[in-house]
Structure 1
Amino acid sequence: MILVLDFGGQYNQLIARRVRENHVYCEVHPHTMSLDRIREMAPKGIILTGGPNSVYQADSASCSPELFRLGIPVLGICYGSQLMAYLLGGRVETAPTSEYGKTEVTLRSGRSKLFAGVDTKTICWMSHTDYIAAAPDGFQITADTPVCPVAAMENEAENLYAVQFHPEVMHTVQGKVMLKNFVYAICGCAGDWKMDSFVRRTICELREKIGNGRALCALSGGVDSSVAAVLLSKAIGSQLTCVFVDHGLLRKDEGDQVEAVFGPNGPYDVHFVRVNAKDRFYQKLAGVTDPEQKRKIIGEEFIRVFEEEAKKIGAVDYLVQGTIYPDVIESGLGKSAVIKSHHNVGGLPDYVDFKEIVEPLRLLFKDEVRTAGRELGIPDYLVNRQPFPGPGLGIRIIGEVTEEKVRIVQEADAIYREEVAKAGVEGLGQYFAALTNMRSVGVMGDGRTYDYAIALRAVMTSDFMTAESAQLPWEVLQKTTSRIVNEVRGVNRVLYDCTGKPPATIEFE
């Protein structure tokens, strides 16, 4: 096992995911974890994450210098590298020039275990205001940039390694090689952790945890909740009821599609309840424009609907949700900054009328959830569906949500997805249409229009923590634009979003 100590950065869970890609189990814990607990866990290696603070500030996240004397290999990343230098006698200062984004890093040593197989000049992702001005005694500087004298350093004798950049993000071209070197060549891991073991273990744990209790699964029909539902069905069978809340914020015809899969005529033997609550959600969202408020309203109303359905069913002990790692980290994990509240994490109300909330996928990334789904025998057409947020079109409509706006974005999105499918475009992580709050002047049939602009988005990503805008064929964008403007009443302009993540998020709100 590799232990990741969280110092509050945004990529912390992504580090764990990269480690798991090497079939090595990995857990993330707060930086405040005691040395005794670390010794008890006996990890093969420790990774210190990035973070938003400066190590020399009095209230900054820190750890005991004894951590570096446990005899366990340590890799410090970004803030973690600065903290290692600072605690071991090096010097950390505000950098004369900050580095953000893709940066060319030059290796200074050809014999570093961490950089075996890495090009002498390699592109890495930097994101720092401070830098290591002087390495501690016993450390060799192994990489630099024109403005960062210590882009990497190591004390091979003590198995201590540090990099100023982020090897875990896909923008660091050979980052996976570096992390694989750390896990295998430096930590000596075996690489025998597989997703099938997660599935078997989780089913056993759910069966033991729930016992004779009853569970209510919040089923949206998306990948995450579908995998969670099948996991629970295999663990507790008829003790599970799947409740699908149609909040009127789904994609076109999606409610009927979900019922076709999980309803009485579908392939799964589950108790399925569909609740048509469109009017209820629209009333709650009337006049609300702030995206965080919309998320929290939708999240609370979800819970209230589930509570009501649970009372109809009888005593229900557990609420099951398809929460996954990116939901957790973007809702604020430990000291990490809150990017947006997810309806099933940060959007939960203070009072929830269930004994406990069960989130069996909380430690998985999206690609791991898909792998688990295949292990469970879920059909590919379900497992490979592109993600759809719990708050639905409520966060793909900028500003107030109305029934008319929902109609517009549903129709535009259906056209967009149809044209992408017709063109056979592959490799997209997510693509959708969103309704901006911008209205502009246009001309149709020799007459003036003053209608909305639709924004199209398509990204390529494997982990949904970072993403790049997809370069869709111009013919696809042209055909989609023409159809939307001609077929969707209320739209006279179509835009394409070229922004990556970061700085944007994948969704619009």
Structure 2
Amino acid sequence: MKGEEGSLVSNHVRRQAIIVLDFGSQYSRLIARRIRENHVYSELVPAETTLEQLQREKAHLDIRGFILSGGPASVYDAQAPRCDPAILQSGLPVLGICYGMQLLAHQLGGHVAPARGRREYGPATIELQSAAGDQGRAAEIFAGLAQADMAGEGRSLKVWMSHGDSVDQLPPGFSVLARSESNPCAAIAGPGGLIGLQFHPEVTHTPQGREILRNFLFRVCDCRADWTPGSVIDETVAQIRSRVGEARAICALSGGVDSAVAALLVHRAIGERLTCVFVDTGCMRAGEPEQVVETFSRHLHIPLIAVDARQRFLARLEGVTDPEQKRKVIGEEFIRVFEEEALRLAQEQGPISFLVQGTLYPDVIESAGRDTASTATRIKTHHNVGGLPEEMTLQLVEPLRWLFKDEVREIGLALGLPEEWVWRHPFPGPGLAIRVIGAVDEQRLETLRAADAILIEELRRAGLYRQVSQAFAVLTPVRSVGVMGDGRTYAQVVALRAVTSEDFMTADWARLPYDLLARVANRIVNEVAGVNRVVYDVTSKPPATIEWE
């Protein structure tokens, strides 16, 4: 990574890494996550990245192998994305998954065509074959996985397929490692650690997929399992020291685990030259400003300034209904507040050059930031990525920019962050402004604050807060007819949202008990003025996002 953009990897340590080339699969980021789960560092790069670029821009990495992701294209189409031939000829192991396997075959002299049998979408069974010839380390991809049947003959694995094209002619030197009922080339291997899998080992629907990826890492690529919270902390602290030097910094503290971990890492690197700034935008949850200041002061012992900017933010948001515009307004206003605080502090402490943010990898991906794969499209602008103003007087330090949420939590625990803070549900930087659908004003915020507090209180009381990854209330722009006290009402509708997720790139709606939902709904319509209806969102991500805006 480029040190000037908050890389996790120190320029002084050649960290072993697997490079994932993104050909547009919805699972590309999941592949990188699965690699990291095995304590091996992984980066996702655009499909068109060349070996020469990697050698120049990733010189601090000891690249041990490559993975070619799946993708929606057909390799025989004229505009289909290709892999740099030098990568395939580098002598390093290459694992092609789905489209990646077809591309491997196509570029090395094989042939790919629309499947002659039925196309395979969903669960499938593959039968392992004995490789013809000596495929060396590539043949280790299925080592120790499949069991022989009762007769001691066939060896099979359950996998998950999603493809319409198939390899119908192998490249020279390749052999078949597995076949399915409809596909004679479900897995292939070639010399020098070249492997193709027509199925997706990265998804949970392939039961032994994680073991297959472990074989690739440790048997084929000979990786070390040293990408651990301790190593991340050491390398990040070294990188921050190199980046910031003797300068001073302020940290945008939101009260969530991301900004808290970022603050702890930077404080470990530069000590008292860091000051944290908590900005009350008026869009916080009930009691949150007081809780953040108290908890942070008690546990972290880092200088903290609390800024009351409620009226300022609400004035900027007046009349703004478009969610993208809300994010941009809030992102710009945040920066202006931090710049002003930096100028004020500079009069007491000396110049401040850097702003620390808790930006995560999913934020970058969804905002289609400049560091993501080129196939990414913007889903929504995160206030701390695409919502930043073009002109800024402070330079950004983002030590978590390449981490997923679960990795940040592991690091937070290793740094001694209290568990109640580590496991707090994520709260978006724009706050309740993007949970009030439509126009934002003080009254609507108060209504939402009260409803949200009831949901979280009841979740905790039921012992389900930790079982749910994120839960919140949404104030919709809808009004509905109701009956209260024998009289007609025409009042607001609150939607409840609760999801389970490992990395927040995908999520499923939480199956909360009906009696819990009934209690929450009953309390909201009885205790929150102006609300007469509560609904529950049962949409996964995708197709929805977790937040409504």
Give TM-score, length-normalised by structure 2.
0.85
| Distance across 2 between alignment mates of 1:449 and 1:99 | 53
Contact 2:299 2:418 in 1 (8 A): no
d(CA) in 2 for partners of 1:444 and 1:98? 56
Deviation at 1:165, TM superposition (A): 4.3
Q: CA offsets per residue over residues 466-508 of structure 1, 9 Å max, x none? A: 2222111111111111111111112111111111122221111
TM-score, normalising length: structure 1: 0.91
Equivalent of 2:188 in 154, 170, 181: 154
Alignment partners' CA distance in 1, 2:184 and 2:462:
47
Distance change >3 Å, CA 274–CA 427, structure 1 → 2: same
Q: How does 1:371-386 map to 2 (within 5 A)?
A: 371-386=410-425
**Alpha carbons 1:44, 1:72 under 8 Å: kept:** yes
SS at match of 1:82: helix
Q: What are the equivalent positions in structure 2 for 1:28-39 lying under 5 Å apart?
A: 28-36=44-52, 38=54
Residue in 2 that maps onto 1:439: 479
- Look up the match of 2:101: 81
Matched pairs, number:
500
The counterpart of 2:529, out of the listed 483, 489, 507, is: 489
Separation in 1, partners of 2:25, 2:539? 21
CA contact (8 A) 1:240 1:271 kept: yes
Mapped to 2, the partners of 1:68 and 1:35 lie a distance apart of 9
Tell me by how many angstroms 1:269 deviates: 2.7
What whole-Å deviation, never above 9, does each CA across 1:40-83 have from its counterpart, x for those lacking one?
A: 65522211123454434444432223322222211123432332
Q: Quick one: distance in 1 between partners of 2:415 and 2:314? A: 36
Are the aligned partners of 1:124 and 1:175 in contact in 2 as well (CA < 8 Å)? no
How many Å separate the matches in 2 of 1:118 and 1:331? 41
How far off is 1:258 after superposition? 0.7
Structure 1 CA distance for aligned equivalents of residues 74 and 39 of structure 2 = 33
Matched, 1:450 2:490: yes
Preserved CA contact (<8 Å) 1:131 1:164 = no
Higher alpha-carbon deviation: 35-44 or 497-506: 35-44
Cα deviation, residue 397, structure 1: 2.0
2:336 is paired with a residue of what secondary structure?
helix
Counterpart residue type for residue 6 of structure 1: D
Query: Contact 1:442–1:450 (CA<8 Å) still a contact in 2?
Result: yes
Q: Does 1:428 align with 2:464?
A: no
Give the match's secondary structure for 1:317. Answer: strand
Task: State the one-letter code of the partner of 2:278.
Answer: F
- Give the conservation status (yes or no) of the 8 Å contact 2:159–2:201: no
Matched residue type, 2:141: L
Match of 1:331 among 360, 364, 367: 367
Q: Which amino acid aligns with 1:474?
A: Y
Displacement, 1:27? 2.5
Q: Deviations over 1:270-322 (max 9, x none)?
A: 22111111222222222222221211111111111111111111221111100
Tell me by how many angstroms 1:377 deviates.
1.2
The structure-2 alpha-carbon separation of the partners of 1:125 and 1:406, relative to structure 1 and needing over 3 Å to count, comes to: farther
Q: 1:444 to 1:349 in 2, by over 3 A?
A: same
Cα distance in 2 for partners of 1:71, 1:162 equals 16
1:465 matched residue in structure 2: 505
Provide the rounded CA distance (Å) in 1 between the counterparts of 2:41 and 2:72.
Answer: 26
Please tell me the residue identity of whatever aligns with 1:316. I
Residue by residue over 1:369-388, the C-alpha shift from the partner in whole angstroms, topping out at 9 and shown as x without a partner, is 01111111111111111111
RMSD in angstroms over aligned alpha carbons? 2.4
Does the Cα contact within 8 Å between 2:105 and 2:167 map onto a contact in 1? no
| 1:136-147 equivalences in 2 (<5 Å) | 136-137=170-171, 138-140=174-176, 142-144=178-180
Paired residues for 1:268-347 under 5 Å: 268-314=300-346, 315-332=351-368, 333-335=372-374, 336-347=376-387
Give the corresponding residue for 2:274: 240
Mapping 1:103-122, distance limit 5 Å:
103-109=122-128, 113-116=140-143, 117=145, 120=156, 122=158
Counterpart for residue 286 of structure 2:
252
1:402 aligned residue (428, 441, 444): 441
Instruction: State the distance in 1 between where 2:490 and 2:142 align.
Output: 58
Report whether the alignment pairs 1:55 with 2:75.
yes
TM-fit CA distance, 1:136: 2.9
State the partner residue of 1:124: 160
Give ranges in structure 1 of 5+ residues lacking alignment: none
Q: Map of 1:498-509 to 2, 5 A cutoff?
A: 498-509=538-549
Deviates more, 1:33-42 or 1:300-309: 33-42
Say which is worse superposed, 70-79 or 113-122, in terms of deviation: 113-122
**Structure 1 residues 397 and 136: alpha-carbon distance in aligned structure 2, compared to 1, 3 A threshold:** farther
Deviation at 1:158, TM superposition (A): 4.0
> What letter corresponds to residue 79 of structure 1 in structure 2?
Y
SS in 2 for 1:191: coil
Q: Which amino acid aligns with 1:200?
A: D
Q: Which has the larger radius of gyration?
A: 2
Q: Does 1:12 align with 2:12?
A: no
Unaligned runs of 5+ in 2: 1-16, 131-138, 148-155
Q: Is the 8 A contact 1:322 1:360 kept in 2?
A: yes
Alignment CA distance shift 1:59-1:346 (3 Å): farther
User: SS where residue 142 of structure 1 aligns?
Assistant: strand
User: Retained in 1: the 8 A contact 2:129–2:176?
Assistant: no
Aligned to 1:75, the other structure's residue is in SS state strand
CA apart distance, 1:221: 0.9
